[in-house]
Every structure is written in C-alpha cells, then in structure tokens.
Amino acid sequence: MHELLIQGGIPLRGTVKVKGSKNASLPIIAASLLTSEPVIIEDVPDLLDVRDMLAVIKSLGSEVQYNAIDEIIHISTHSLEPLEPSRHKVQKMRASFLVLGPLLARFGQASISLPGGCAIGSRPVDLHLKGLTAMGVKFTVSGGLIEGKTNRLQGARIYLDYPSVGATENIMMAGTLARGTTVIENAASEPEIVDLAGFLNSMGARISGAGTKTIRIEGVKELGDTRYAVIPDRIEAGTLLLCAAVTGGDVTVTNVLPDHLRPLLAKLRETGISAEEVDYSAIRVIGSSKTRGVDLKTLPYPGFPTDLQPQFMVLLALSNGTSLVTETVFENRFMHVDGLRRMNANIQIEGNRAVIQGSSKLSGAPVKASDLRAAAALVLAGLAAEGTTVISSVDYLWRGYSCFEERLRKLGARLERFYPENREQVEA
C-alpha cells in the first residue's frame, strides 16, 4: 500500500471540476446486465471500485471497453452467462452484490458470495433478500454462498424496514423485468437512486417515484439499448468544498448539482463559513479561522450524508466550542478518529456519538487510513495541520476519488505519494 506525505497549513485556492458519481456509476454498470443490447455510459470516473465492478460483469461474460481518459464505457452483454461472480471481488467490494437483482431478472437464477463486512460495519444484506423473496425468489445460503432461483420474478409490494440504498437498487432493477408491478415503500431516495431509475427508464423500463419514499416499477418484457451520463459525485464535491473550509482557503467546485448538497451547505453556513451557489452548477466556499462548532446527525437522504461525516469532523476539530456528531447509518464509522487524535484533535467517542472539543490547530503526524472516507478525512486533516503528515494505507482513497492528488495540487496543496521503502527520498 502507498503512503501520502502532506505539507499542511497551505490555504487551498482555485476552481476544480467534480467528476461523475461513484455511487451512481456502480449500480448503473450492474444494471447493464438487464439488457442484451449495447449500453454506453458517460462521465464514469476512473476509480478502483469502477474497475472492480467492470471486472465483475466481465467475469459473467460481458464485453467491456472502458476509455478512462474520456470516461466512457461501452458494454455488451449478449454473451452473458449466469456464472458466479468472483468471490474475491464480492468480498472486496460490497457493491458487487448489486448484480444479484439483474441476474435473477435476466436468468431466473444467481449464485453470489455474501459480501464482506468492512471497517465501517457488518453491512448485512437481509433487506435485499427479503424483498427479492417477496418477488418469488427461493434463496439457499451455505458456506457464505447465496443461491437464488425463480421461474419468473413476480411484482410485489415491499416495505423496507430501513431505507437501504443497495436493497432499493437491487429490488428496483429486478422489478424492471418482473411480471406485474412492484412497489417499494420506505425506499431510499438518494440522488443515485434517481439516476439509476433514469438509466433504467432510458432502456425502456417503467419506473416512477424514484427520489420519493415510494417507487413503482411496472415490469416490461425486455429492455433496450441506451447512452447515458451519470450525475456528478456529491460526496466528492462535498469533500473538495471541505478542503477549502479546513484550510481557510477559497475554492469553487463546478459541475455540481447544489440541490444534492443542501445538508452540507446548511451545516457549513451554521459554522460561520460562506458557502454560496455561484450559478446552477457551481458552489464557492471561503474558509474562515473563526468557525463555530455545530451538532451533526447523519441520516438517509435528504439528511446529512454519512459519507461526509468523517470529513466534516475535521472542520469541527478546528472550530471553536463543542460539537456532537451522531452517526445513525453505520455502526462503526468513527475509524478516522484515532488518526485525528494523533493530530491533536480532542474527540471522545460514546457509542455512535462523538464529542469534539474544537481547537484552532491540528499538528501533522504519521496516521493510517482504514477505509475510503476515513482516508479522505485524514487528507483534509493533513492539509489543515501545521507540519507534515504521512498517511499509510492511503490506497483506499483511490476507490472513490480519481486524480485526487493532482486536483489538490492544482489548488495549491503540497503532497506526494510514495511506497514506504522510498520515504527517506521524499522527506528529504
């Protein structure tokens, strides 16, 4: 795994364009399995998770061309087979589980490994299986492998005990080719769900209500071809805006949909930071040395996104006063706190709540990343801190941020990626 060395204390300034959404791209790539016609997907960022998802559908017989420079994928699944996707990939990346609904819809059968848990929690799939079972699938689970079989998926009315993003996506994809109508109640309403529905409807699906708590899917006989561009990544946008906030800089992010960032913008303003929409697709944040601590609770959309909680905590660690962060989505999403404490942050954890006594300074230190958004938080802390920070296991970053260092350098950041054995040369 690489390490990242950051010289902190430099205010970031300039303009940066946000790339396409990882969490819209992954389900949309999985959804390409629902049609035997060619599919073109645009604005797909070059991420490790994207490459892994493409490897999963290739292992099922899909033909894939990915032009990483132009961020365009061409997929053809006319020679798809109901094989078991690589266990290693499914264990490594939970989103691989999103091929389950499409395979059941296409072939009436699927075998897939239970996804691995990860640093932020056990992350079960019971809601996925409960919804698909209601649609007529018989599942058997043995040795960590799930086998599903159905003569034909039947439309059903499904209430999700929790508005799970992945379960909503798997059931919605399965419903597109089911007999009759499927209604998902208490559905997830994230922008990525709306984008997946848009993609499916562009192939001829009949989905309504995406983005609300109730989604209706009228099954059709087959889906056709399409060319579709994914939405901008709201979590990458939020991470870049927080880079300005924590370094006292002045950054404008372009190619954003401000409506997708309402909770972040509101919370930034509550701390006293200026966060203004420059026009319908750009936002400017000007950092300040006098920010106030605020309380924060993560919730399903449209609440504050859990994927920005680690990054926002860095700002709270630098703000005046006491802040309370409550993480309600994942059971263990404070893995970044150990690293922040090493950098002089004063944070106490009590269950799913963290109490932050803000102070004006963080100091650089050697820290270790544990997952994608924790890595992002440690980068923000390194940019804000006085002195040098070295982040080990920083490869997690490239699961969800493309060309991230280059884009931070363009904003004035001083950082260098290296292998641990080469550290002396870089520090010299």
**Residues taking part in catalysis:** 118
In the complex, least distance from residue 224 CB atom to ligand EPZ, rounded to whole angstroms: 25
Instruction: Provide the CA 308 distance to its chain's centre, in angstroms.
Output: 10
| Residue 131 CB, nearest approach to ligand EPZ (Å) | 9
Among residues 128, 216, 234, 260, the one that binds ligand EPZ under rule CB under 6 A: 128
Minimum distance from CB of 93 to ligand EPZ (Å)? 8
**Given 329, 337, 362, 385, the residue binding ligand EPZ (CB under 6 A):** 329
Q: Is 146 an interacting residue with respect to ligand EPZ (CB under 6 A)?
A: no
Chain centroid offset of residue 326 CA:
19
The answer to whether 390 contacts ligand EPZ (rule: CB under 6 A) is no
**Which of 372, 380, 390, 408 contacts ligand EPZ by CB under 6 A?**
372
- The closest alpha carbon to 384, from 402, 358, 406, belongs to 358
Per CB under 6 A, the list member of 26, 47, 103, 384 interacting with ligand EPZ is: 26
AA identity, residue 211: G
Residues 293 and 35: their CA atoms lie apart, in Å, by 50
DSSP assignment, residue 36?
A: S
Of positions 230, 373, 384, 404, contacts ligand EPZ by CB under 6 A:
373
Residues in binding contact with ligand EPZ, number by CB under 6 A: 26
| 165 touches ligand EPZ by CB under 6 A | yes
> Which of 65, 79, 81, 124 touches ligand EPZ (CB under 6 A)?
124
Region 231-290 residues binding ligand EPZ, contact defined as CB under 6 A: none
Report the C-alpha gap between 200 and 31 in whole angstroms.
Answer: 7
- The residues, any chain, with a CB within 8 Å of residue 114's CB and separated by 6 or more, are 90, 125, 141, 144, 145, 146
Residue 336 has phi, psi (to 5 degrees) of -80, -15
**Cβ(47)–Cβ(73) below 8 Å:** no
Beta carbon nearer to ligand EPZ, 5 or 264? 264
Residue 318 has which token pair?
């630098």
Instruction: Give the DSSP per-residue string, 348-380.
Output: EEETTEEEEE--S--B--EEE--SHHHHHHHHH
Q: Which of 70, 81, 126, 427 binds ligand EPZ (CB under 6 A)?
A: 126
167 binds ligand EPZ (CB under 6 A): yes
- Separation between Cα atoms, residue 130 and residue 157, nearest integer Å: 12
For the bound state, the minimum distance from the C-beta of residue 234 to ligand EPZ, rounded and expressed in Å, comes to 11
Instruction: Take residue 126 and report the two structure tokens written for it.
Output: 């019971």
* Site mask for ligand EPZ (CB under 6 A), range 293-312, x = bound: -------------xx-----
Q: Which residues are CB-neighbours of 422 under 8 A, at least 6 positions away?
A: none
CA 302 to CA 262: how far, in whole Å?
A: 8
At which residue do the structure tokens 């493309």 appear? 402
Minimum distance, C-beta of residue 294 to ligand EPZ, in the bound complex (Å)? 21
| Binding of residue 166 to ligand EPZ (CB under 6 A) | yes
- 30 lies in the site for ligand EPZ, by CB under 6 A: no
Q: Where are the alpha helices (DSSP H) in 218-360?
A: 234-247, 262-271, 309-318, 337-342
Please select the residue that binds ligand EPZ; options are 1, 42, 65, 121, rule is CB under 6 A: 121
Q: 26 vs 385, which CB is nearer to ligand EPZ?
A: 26
What residue ranges bind ligand EPZ (CB under 6 A)? 22-23, 26, 94-95, 121, 123-128, 162, 164-167, 188, 192, 306-307, 329-330, 372-373, 400
